[in-house]
Structure 1
């Protein structure tokens, strides 16, 4: 194997056992999970023959955002680096808020991956989902998901070197099976004319609305997993940017090929009632159903096995990444110090336990794969939005800092990445965004009440001046979403004018965020590492 690993102590006692290939596969396996098993089916229902463009656009958007994080990751080679980034740009106040938003973004992913396993298994164990076709778990299905989460948590208690070896084997499998599926579906299809089927009204706009709704953006979200394990990387300055960029490109090739093969494998009868009503035998496990219909029973059997491996591997690494976020929360004092406790294997065992409990909780309000995916996509993309902001702040505050990877034309590409993040939120739809922003308001109110009423701390120490720009950001996005014609909005704002207004508003927010950022000397303290302490807001 070309990967070189060695053991040394990372930040806070974490072991630096992850090499370049290991980190690349960490991000790759985080992406190639349940999204590929279901995304092509849901994208085709929304965008029809244009669905392949949804994956291309999604890959371009996520790659743009990933390039911003690739530069930042080399500056923060620590586990839970996303927490440290937020401290560096706007201080402890934003660091606390972002820590918990990141936690809420990571916590349900392992749960949604177990739901994917159960959804495929329901094809031959038809007591895991309720009848009706909406994917809702039965009591038995819920218990099975909780037990699968427990297995994933137990695997996370192993030493990082052992975890990386398991993940490398799983990732090779997860690359091979989609490629076999692509070849089989294209070779066995006799209905290539479906590719030329006339698009239906609204399907061009569906290229964009499918990004969150079909799980396309969700399928690319895992690129940050390598960043989360920066404190366990043997050569973080070079390994992390390679993993971040390489994983997005690798996953993009797989997803585009899979969508192409899916569309070519459809028969005219599958589309008798139009793309939006696309259905066929076994569509609860879309690729396996198509393979069986084409006479490739062995491919269908392989896919049913992969329905355990792919989501299981993604859930494994996301629980790892989420536990490292909690580790950084404990390390920075953003939350309980117990989160930073390490086991004899050098892993944060308390954080892993908390991730399991939270994952089980998320099975309750979102007991279906697609329902939970919409929430995850929206809140994760919100946390993405901070990356371009931090990049611009650090370029201004620390222009001479050594960067293993330097994003060219950052003054243009970083604001564009922020615009793209907000467009994904906008396209998620008013109903999902309303639930998300309401949750954020409640959590922020609890945090502010704890700070001012229970701890009796001052408004100055809370850092209102540094985080005030969040209100116009989130408030403006909620208003635009309410006026839109997407996902339950009022329909007062047509699709493309909504896109333009979202872009303009994003640039205004960028300006507000830069004005509220920390001075250069405070940013330098955070870059120096945890041993220098984390600055309170001025």
Structure 2
């Protein structure tokens, strides 16, 4: 496989190569386990409860739908990740096909989403720890866990620890991560087995309103809002760290697809075990939507701060509860460590694209983007302000992260026209590439729609703030930035506006009558509108992409047929 080196820039200011200062310390297992370790974070600790509250036993279907969607998205990135094994790829790929405006738009959304993940994992650690350190969090007027002053200080210290560990470099962290992932896999498997053997009640799947008490609306809401989509985001490590693996052709596709399949099976089994093991008295009073508040007398607060451990305690397996409290530090902590480094690599990529300050691309002799790492810490601390706890932040991160993934299928199709002769170590079929790309973008739009207007309008505000920062950067660094290429990236604005309109007209979230949306589009009409938007955005993006000659100039490589 041919890989460029250096930072040659084409007419659009493309960063046509990877930084050779980044070390290739991730092998096959190391990269796969980095993705698996990132997937198995706080999502599995809270996702089963949250999904059951929204969908009842049909949450099993929600996990399956989420896994299929992310396999589709991962397949679109598998070809790109092997074509361009560049660190920070999610932010850099749009730059290659659509220029600076499109890449900044997607890079900003990607970075904001990634910057929030490490703080969310810290919040998960603190939320479970509140069971035995009650001074870390309290319940606000709406019943949402919120950090106390002391809890905020502890959270900042934990995030600082993540930054320090990342400063030691990739090789040292990769070795530790492999051990932590084996632990996390073992704990999930143990919880599944114990719940199935000790306390499984099959009548829970048909009682209390039936298998799907909240209908298809609840099933799809759970994908977006219960932490299901959030739980699969870790697959992206195969793209973000592709420039730091020793064999991208083998390791990148295996990581992108294998991590989702492996963890998807585990999550479905965990949801089955949770539905069967939760005490009947916790479901009976209010149905599945009230299960977290009705575990047993004196156990409702425990369920709020640690649902799996609460069940383990109630069914008489206190030793398992103790292991879960330990894992509540290890699982989110490991994911937080990973995302701290990933966030730094995304802003590093934007610095390489030259639509963000160039200082963000500075790396240490050990290959760590240190300026970007410090920025990730500073911004991460803002998420510890007195906002509601884990579940509310997850909704925001879900729609912003999924939106950032949506550019991948478009770049995939554009590159078939722009660099048709470039070697593709992993190549989708001529027909299947169109089907997979369309379904991947459609999945992206659906998840954002299902998240609901109450969360989506906040994302729009953040996007607008990003454009203000872009304007400031263009004024301050005038003459030193990449050409904006607005005529090749204007379709991004149509996409964002379309998502906003569909969400505003839609009826998600159904449980919140004061979200401000109109509720004109139901589940079916919203899906049809998302389908139409997918087709429109895909057509506009492909007709607006950078000319073939311009991209070939940025990526000079001898034409060779694909295997």
Same fold (TM over 0.5): yes
Pick from 535, 540, 544 the counterpart of residue 516 of structure 1: 544
Distance 1:473 1:458, change over 3 A: farther
Match of 1:253 in 2: 265
Deviation at 1:233, TM superposition (A): 0.7
Q: Which runs of 5+ in 2 are unaligned?
A: 1-17, 510-514, 558-563
Distance 1:54 1:526, change over 3 A: farther
Within a 5 Å distance, the mapping from 1:13-412 to structure 2 comes to 13-132=21-140, 133-197=143-207, 198-199=209-210, 201-272=213-284, 273-279=286-292, 280=295, 281=299, 282-283=302-303, 284-364=305-385, 366-408=387-429, 409-412=432-435
Match of 1:417 in 2: 440
Question: Is 2:507–2:523's contact at 8 Å kept on the other side of the alignment?
Answer: yes
Match of 1:432 in 2: 455
Match of 2:9 in 1: none
Distance 1:442 1:323, change over 3 A: closer
Match of 1:494 in 2: 522
Deviation at 1:341, TM superposition (A): 2.1
Aligned counterparts of 2:416 and 2:236: Cα–Cα separation in 1? 21
Structure 1 counterpart SS, 2:385: coil
More displaced, 198-207 or 243-252? 198-207
Question: Is 1:485–1:493's contact at 8 Å kept on the other side of the alignment?
Answer: yes
Deviation at 1:400, TM superposition (A): 2.0
Aligned counterparts of 1:23 and 1:135: Cα–Cα separation in 2? 34
CA deviations 1:485-523 (Å, max 9, x no partner) are 102321111111111111111111110111110111222
More displaced, 282-291 or 188-197? 188-197
Distance 1:286 1:391, change over 3 A: same
Please report the TM-score for the alignment, with normalisation by the length of structure 2: 0.89
Aligned counterparts of 1:191 and 1:455: Cα–Cα separation in 2? 64
Question: Is 1:46–1:203's contact at 8 Å kept on the other side of the alignment?
Answer: no
CA deviations 1:125-183 (Å, max 9, x no partner) are 11111134311111111111111101111110112111100110111111110000000
CA deviations 1:251-289 (Å, max 9, x no partner) are 101100110100010222111211111131221211111
Structure 1 counterpart SS, 2:35: helix
Deviation at 1:455, TM superposition (A): 5.9
Question: Is 1:483–1:492's contact at 8 Å kept on the other side of the alignment?
Answer: yes
Aligned counterparts of 2:127 and 2:480: Cα–Cα separation in 1? 50
Structure 2 counterpart SS, 1:486: coil
Deviation at 1:334, TM superposition (A): 2.5
Deviation at 1:12, TM superposition (A): 3.4
